[in-house]
Structure 1
Amino acid sequence: MNPRKPNTSKYAASHKLVVYGVVLMFLVLISLAMIKDKLCSNTPNLTSGLRKQVEYCKVPDHKKELIRNLEPLIAQEPLDIWEGLGKEEKNIKYLPSIMDLSSKDRFIYIDLGAREYDSSIGSWFLKQYPKQNKTFEIYAVEADKSFHKEYKSRKGVTLLPYAAWIRNETVVFGSKPIIVKDKVWRMRPFGRIEGQKAQEDKRSAVVKVQAFDFVDWLKRTIKPTDFVVVKMDVEGTEVTLIRELVERGAICLIDELFMECHFDRYVKCCSGERINRFNFSYDQCYNMFSELRKMGSFVHQWWIIF
C-alpha cells in the first residue's frame, strides 16, 4: 500500500493568507501615515532646527528640571477660550519666582503685538510679572498706527512701529473676514500678516505696513547674559516666527515666552462650526508648545493668563 501524500494545498493556502494579511496591514499603516502627514502638513517642522537649538542653547540640566515642573499644558481644547481663562493665572509658574536673576546683566521685556499700552504691558507685565526688583527695558512691537500715539508719553517703553516678521519688507497687514456658512463678519485691519491674496479678495480689511526681521534684531540686540521675556500675540504669524527662531538659533535668547497660538476655534453663533482664518487645529498648537518645552524653551500658553 502506498503511503498517502500529505495535502500541502491547505498549508499553502494558509501561508498565502498570512502573507496577504501582513502585506495588507503594511499598506494600511502606510496609508494612515500618509493621511496623518497630510492632515498635519500645517504643523511647523520644529525638529528640523533641533540640532541648532541644542548646539546654540546647550540647555543645562537644572533648566530642564524647571521646565518639567511648569504648569501643565492644557491638552484638550477649551471651548470657552475667548470667554476668559484668567482663573488659570494662579497656576502659572513664572521663571523669576523659581530662579535667581542676580547673575543677569540686563532685563528686557518684548511685547510682540502690543496694541494699546494697557493691553498687556500696563495691565499684566508691570503689575503681575515678578521682577525681583529689577528694572526692565520694555519694547512694544506694534504695526497698527492707531496705537502709536499713546506710547509717546510712556516713559521706559520703546515703540518699534513695525510688524514682527522674518524679513525687512513691506507686508499686507490686517484681517481676513470670519466666514461661517453663509455669514461673513468683516474685521478691522489689525494684527496679522495676511499676504497678497487677502488684498485682492475684496473682503479682507488690510493695509500695507513695514515689517522687520525680528529674529535678526533679537540676535543683534540681546546677549546670552541678558534676561529676556517675550509675549507673542501676533494673530497666526507666531508659527512662522517660532520656526525661524528655532532654525536660526535665536530661541535660546528668550528666557521666558508667553505665546498665543491661534487656531480655527468654535464660534458661539453656529453650533459645531469653526472660523476659517488660521488653518491650524488646537492639537497642532498643543504639539508646538509641547515640542518647544522638550527643546528647552520656558514657554507658556498666553491665552490662559488673559
Structure 2
Amino acid sequence: MGSVSLVHPWILYFCIAFLTCYVVLDLIANHSDLEFPDLLSCSSSSSVLLGNSNASGGNAVVDEPAVCRTLEGHLDIDLASLRQKHVDLNPQTVPSRQAEDPWRQMKWVGPAATCRVRGHLIERLDPALNFRRGFSLRFASDVEDKTHLLPWLLPSRVNLNNRRRRVYLDLGANAFSTSITWFLRMYPVDFTEMHAFEVDTHLLRKPEAGFNEGSNYAPPNQWSKMLKETAGVPSWMLSRIRVYNQFVSDGDDALQNAVNITRFMKEELSLKPEDTVVVKMDIEGSEWPILRRWMQDPDMSSIVDELFVEVHYDHPSMRGYHWARFSPTTREQALTLLADLRFHGFFVHAWP
C-alpha cells in the first residue's frame, strides 16, 4: 500500500495569501472608482511633487514639463503677440487650423493651462481677450460675466468644506449684489465668516432682512412654484458678514483710513494654513504692491487657498472702462503678475 505525501502547511498559507492579494488588487484595478492617492504617489519615480498638504488638501502628484518650474512656463503665451495693435479673432482671416479650434469657436470656457498650480489644473490666462473670454467673444452681454471660472474653482478638486473655519475676504466689494452675492450662490463652500471691504459707505449695504425661502412662492397649482422675488441671503448668513469701510492697502494709515491687509489677515483674523481662505481682490490698482509683498511672504501662499484678482492696466481695448488712468502699467505686465503668482504657489484667477 503506497504512502500519501502531505502538502506542507506553509505552502497552503502562501497560496491563500497570494490568492487574497490577487482578488484585492483586481477589485481595486477593475471594479472600483475610488481614488488611492497614496498608492499612486509611489507608482512612478519620475513624478514631480507639487503643492503642499495645507493648501491643496493633500499632496498632488503629476507629471509636468520642466518648464513649469519656471515663471515662463506659467506665462503660457508669447508676449510678443500681445504687443500687436490688433488681435484678429475672425475665423475667416486666421489659419484654418485655428479656425477649427473649438476653444475659439464654441467654448465659453478656455483650455487648461500648460502648467498646474499646486498639482491641480487651472485655466489658461487669456490676455488677448482681456481675461474676459465670454464677454470678449460676445457670448455674454455683461463684462462682469464669470462663467469661464466655474469649472476651474479649487473646491471642485479639493474639499474645502471639511475645515472648521471657512473665511471669505472681499477686497473692494462694491455693492452687495455683485461679488458677495456671486460667492454666496456660486462658490461651493459654506463660509463661516465673510469680511467685506468697501470704502464708499453708499455702495455696500447688507440687506435689512434675510431671505425666507419657505414663504417665497405662491401655490397656483400643484405643478409649479411662482417666485415672488429673486432668492436672497437668509438671516443666519447675514450675521456672518462683517463690513469694513476702509481702504485696502499695503500699509496702515489712519489719516487715509487705510488698513494693511496682510497684517489684518495674519494678526486680526489670525488666519492659518489649516483654515479655508478665499480672497477676491478688486481695489483699483492698489493690488500691485500687496501682491508683490505676498509673493515675498512665504506664509501667504499657504494661508490663501484661492485668489481672484482684477489686475488693472492700460490698454486701448479697456479705455472704454476708464482704465487709461492705470498707465503706464501694461497688459503684458498684468499677465506676468498673474503668472508670477501662480509660480509662487497661488491658485489665482483673473477676476472676473
TM superposition score category, shorter chain reference: 0.5 to 0.7
Match in the other structure for 1:214: 261
CA distance in 1, matches of 2:205, 2:161: 35
Contact 1:245 1:251 in 2 (8 A): yes
Between Structure 1 and Structure 2, the one with more helix by share is 1
Does the aligned pair in 2 maintain the 1:111–1:121 contact within 8 Å?
A: yes
Given that 2:281 and 2:309 are in contact with CA atoms closer than 8 Å, whether structure 1 keeps it comes out as yes
Q: What's the offset of the Cα at 1:268?
A: 7.8
Q: Are the counterparts in 2 of residues 215 and 250 from structure 1 also a CA contact under 8 Å?
A: no
For residues 116 and 137 of structure 1, the distance between their equivalents in structure 2, rounded to whole angstroms, comes to 18
Give the corresponding residue for 1:245. Answer: 294
CA-CA distance at 1:84 after TM superposition: 2.0
Q: Which of 160, 163, 166 is the aligned partner of 2:250?
A: 166
**1:71 aligned onto 2:123:** yes
Count of aligned pairs between the two proteins: 207
Give the Cα–Cα distance (whole angstroms) in 1 for the partners of residues 282 and 192 of structure 2: 20
- Alignment partner, residue 228 of structure 1: 277
Question: How far apart are 1:76 and its partner, in Å?
Answer: 2.4
- Deviation string, structure 1 residues 34-75 (Cα, Å, up to 9, x no partner): xxxxxxxxxxxxxxxxxxxx99x8987528665551111114
Report % sequence identity. Answer: 26
The amino acid across from 1:147 in the alignment is: L
Look up the SS of the partner of 1:118 in the other structure: coil
2:152 aligned partner:
93
Counterpart of 1:139 (choices 187, 191, 195) is: 195
Whole-angstrom distance in 1 between the partners of 2:319 and 2:350: 25
TM-score, with structure 2 as normaliser: 0.51
Aligned equivalents of 2:280, 2:319: Cα separation in 1: 30
Relative contact order higher in (CA < 8 Å, ≥ 6 apart): 1
Residue 259 of structure 1: aligned partner:
309
Structure with the higher strand share, 1 or 2:
1
Does the CA contact (< 8 Å) of 2:117 and 2:346 recur in 1?
Answer: no
Give the superposition deviation at 1:231.
0.3
Deviates more, 1:279-288 or 1:82-91: 82-91
Code of the residue aligned with 1:262 in structure 2: it is: H
Question: 1:88 Cα deviation (Å)?
Answer: 4.5
Distance between the aligned counterparts of 2:278 and 2:55, measured in 1?
Answer: 19
Structure-2 separation of matches of 1:77 and 1:142: 28
Q: What's 1:114 paired with?
A: 173
Over aligned residues, Cα RMSD in angstroms?
3.3
- Which amino acid is the alignment partner of residue 246 of structure 1? M
Q: Which residue of 1 aligns with 2:188?
A: 130
C-alpha distance 88-116 of structure 1, shift in aligned 2 (>3 A): closer
Give how far 1:279 is off.
Answer: 2.1
Q: Which letter maps to 1:259?
A: V
